[in-house]
Each structure stands twice: as structure tokens, then as C-alpha cells.
Structure 1
Amino acid sequence: MAERRTESRHILSANLHAAQGADVLSRILASQHGAIAALTPAFPQIIAAAQAGAQALRAGGKMGYAGAGSSGLMALADCLELPGTFGIAPDRVPMLFAGGVEALLHMQGGVEDDPKLALADIARAQIGAGDTILCLAASGRTPYTLAVAKEAKARGAVVVGLSNTAEADLLALADIPVVLDTGPEIITGSTRMGAASAQKIALNMISVLVGLHLGHVYDGFMVNLTADNIKLLDRAARIVAAVSGADIAAAQAALDETEGAVKPAILVATGMTRPEAEAALVRTGGHLAPALLENQ
């Protein structure tokens, strides 16, 4: 265990059992800050990962996620948000989680050791040439995740490996290795803590950059969101109003005309017809900023 940084002792864990509540919380918070600091050196690799993911999606491919246990949960949390936030079809962002849905309800340690599950999952997701897959493992040695990475690479996909151990097998295998060297955990070996926090932030960074590359973010607004509940319908109207300068009533009318599609609704609210708005977005590859310039 000592050879893995994620399994070694954190300096703040000494006598943790005897510490008072506020002291425990301060130590946990300090350990989280330390883990998050590991993201800054990884910026170049995070940028490369986002470029690979965006390239795959832009060309009609997939950006998949894979992991087991806590790492898989971090991947799942990011993966599930992409359809609603950026309007990306769920089948374009498949999740490969060791053990499947059953393991989400009752975490099962053994499934992460089964490479056969990985091969079945990657076949089901139809990952192959032209796709990118984000593989997460704190130790970088999880058999399920390694098997996904190896099979995806053999099928011609770009493999992004995210690990909290610099010498990880996963990083050596990956086309784009992302090292998040978060070090020891305050609860020794509990990588659901600092390692997982850094993983989730890294995925937030990757997915936001992907959204930007695809033109799904404008001025900080999610202009390609899928409005499928009352909250998001209201948000869509407020986005259209804020970007176009129209009032809420005009924004809602524009959304009605475009059947809830935010980008063309913004252009309609600035004076375009729906066909003109859709044609402009085709010309700009779905990017709103140059389409708005056309309408000035």
C-alpha cells in the first residue's frame, strides 16, 4: 500500500480520532484544498482532453465516460448533466460503470476487478474509431477501467486517462494522460474524498471546454440547453431575453417559434425569421456569436 500515494498517510490524519469537531472539519477542508491544487499543473492535459472530446462530438462520434466505484460516480455525475446542460444526445455521451445500474444502488467492490464486464460494456456503447473516452481511476490500476481503456484504444478511440497516481498503468496506456496528483487522503485510502473532488472538478473543466468548443456556451449562458422542466423553460426564456435584449414576452414568443431551441430563438428575438436563424447557425457551425454578428 505504501507505494501508492493515495494509500499513504496524510499528515493531518494523526490523532484524528481524538480531535474536536471543528478541528476535524478544518483538517478535512485543508486536505480538500490541497487536493484541488493538483489541478493547476494538469491544465495542458485537461485542455487536450476537451479538444479530443469536442472533436469526436463535432464529427458525429461519442465522448464516453468509464470508471468504477468513486471514480465511476464522479464520471457519472458529469456524464448525466451533458444532455440537459449542452443539449448533447445521451447516446453520444455513454457511461460505462462497473457493475451497471445495480452497482449504483449497492456499491459492489468485486465488479471493478472483472475485465469481462468492461468488454461487454464497451461493445454495448459501441465505442470505436472517431470516439473519445474518459477513463477514471484514482489508483490507475482498476482492472475494469484498464480493460475499457485497452479495448477502446484497440478499437481506434482516443483514450483520456485521469488518475491520482503519477506512475499509474492507466496513464501509461492513455493517449492523453491527465495526472491529478492529489496525494494521501485524510481517511487513508478513501479516494472518494480529495481524489474524487479533483476528478470531478477536472471533468467540470473538460465538459465546459467541450461545450465552448461546440458553441453551446455564449457569454456564460448554456445556449443549447434542453428545456424539459419548468425551471429550465424559465431559464431558457431568461437566456433568450438576456442575450437578445428582448423582453421576456418576446423571448417566450421566439422560443415558441423555434419549438424551444434557444440558439435560433435568440436570433429570432433579434429580428431573424426561424429559417434565417437556422441557416445562420449552419453557416457558423452552431456558434452563436458569429451568427449574431451577421444580424447586426
Structure 2
Amino acid sequence: MAFCKSANRIWNQFFFTGFSGESLGLLRIYIGIGLLFFHTYQFATVLTLNPIGTMYYFVEPIWYFKLLGIQYHIPVLSFAMYIILMGATVSMIAGKNTRTSILVIILCIFYLKGVRDSFSGDVHHRYIIPMQILFLFLLSRCGEVHSRDARPRHIHEGIQEWEASWPIKTMQLYVALFYFWSVIAKVRVSGWVWFAGEGRIQEVLIKRSVRWGVTDQGEVVKNGLSFELAQHPELIQLFGILVLAFELGFPLLLLIKSVKLRLAFIMGVTAFHISSFVLMDVNFLLIPFVYLIFFDLVPIHQWLKSRAWPLFRRGPSIAG
């Protein structure tokens, strides 16, 4: 009985404390701003197509396109869906018809991601984390604070701490476990050879560096840094050990209370994603915007309002 009470107390302490309604509303705003850039970056290849071009069949449509009977691409529809996606994201940021806007965002992502992946395939599924965050926003009361929806009703005072905390804490837990289980999957599929100096990482480095071809002199056309690193298995093994450590240790971030230590950890993870993009073309370059969920944005927003925004509004000085 004592154990059950203790477990219940820990459960409630983790999921239902720590954040205010203002924190939840600000998180919706800043995640939404990040999504504006993320959407454009993810669907840039689709937007390069001719919007009035010819319709044609997908050779290998993604599984849910097959399920829904979507067999061919309509270029103008992709552009229309992108415009709707961006408009719905702006609406979510403003908190106008918030739940409806989030639902529209999710549906647009499903369509545009299906189009993109039916062309090229998608190994890393870069929308998995943002989609889970959007789903939790959809279930939460995030549209009742710092929003157009809340202004006429003044309902933000009714959001209690537990109502604001559980969506954010669930987001944090999901992201932490996403990284934790990714390293477990690596070990399960490839074994410890993934982290060996002459293992899977070296193989990926070589493949990604020669994918653009080589010159007549035997030099790689692009990404020579990856090819050079592939010649140093000891550095690759060190890189692999660091990946193993941070992915296995990601859940520990949930226990860190110090903002500075959290920031240091997040900066390390961000550096990992940047280096993975540069060396291996693993396109998680913009995913660090989701790490905002690990911070209370209220003091950051207050600092921006009092210190940063006035700098942009200040007019140019006239030299005497």
C-alpha cells in the first residue's frame, strides 16, 4: 500500500505539476513559429514541381495512400495543401480556432508527406515528433491562453496547473523515449557493430560521400569530409559511443532541474543533429526546435518582450 501511494505521488508530481496555462500557450506559439520553417524545409522538393504540370501515377505510393486509393499526383493540389498548411499554422500561432487549425495541419501534413514519400521514400520519418506534439496540443487547452479564442471570453484564468502540465510533460516523455528506443532499435537490428569504428557508421559515411560520384582523379565530388572521416575508424568509434551515451541517457533529462544543465544537454543534441546532417545527410537539421518543450517559456518570453523586441522597434539613430 505504501508503495502504491508513493508511486501515485511520483506520477502526479511528474505529470501534473511544473507548468502554468501561460507556459502552455507560449509553447503553442513558439512551436508554431518553428513549424513554419519546418514545413517549408520538409516539403521544398514538392514545391519545386510545376503546379500546372501533368498528373501522373505514383510508382510506389506510401501505405496509407494505397489504403485510401490515392494513386496519382495532382501538382496544383500539393501547392494548395501547402498554402492551407501554412495558413492553418499561422492560425494556430494566433490561437484562432486553435483545435480546428491543428487538425487541418495534421491532415495537410499527412497528404504532403504522402506525396513526398511516394516519390522518394522516407527513412527517418522526420514528422514523427512534431506530429505527436501537435496531437497533444489538440487534446490540450493550449488555445485558451495567448490566443484570439481566449480574448472575448477571458478563460485563461481557468486553466489549472495540472491541465497545463500534463501535455507538456507527456511531450517531454515522448521525445526522451523516442531517442532511447532509437538506440535500442539500432542494437536490436545491427548489434553493437553499429558503434564499431569499422561498422555501420563507416558504411553510411562512405555511401553518403560517394553518392554524388567521384572525379577523374578519384576525389569525391561532394562531402569530402565524410569520406575523410571514414578513413579514421577510431574517431568513428568515439562518435558512435557519444551517440550511444546521449540516446541512452536522454530520459535522464527529465530528472534534471537545472535550466543550464538542460540547455547544455540540448545544445549537445543539437550539435549531434548538425554533424549528422553535414556528415551523413541525415536530415534532422531543424528538429531541435521541438526541444522548446523542455523549458518553461514564460521567463524567456518576458525577456524577449522587455529586451529583444524593443531593439527591433527602435528606429535608426541620426549621427550628429
Q: TM-score, normalised by structure 1?
A: 0.24
Q: Which has the higher strand share?
A: 1
Q: Which has the higher helix share?
A: 2
Q: TM-score, normalised by structure 2?
A: 0.22
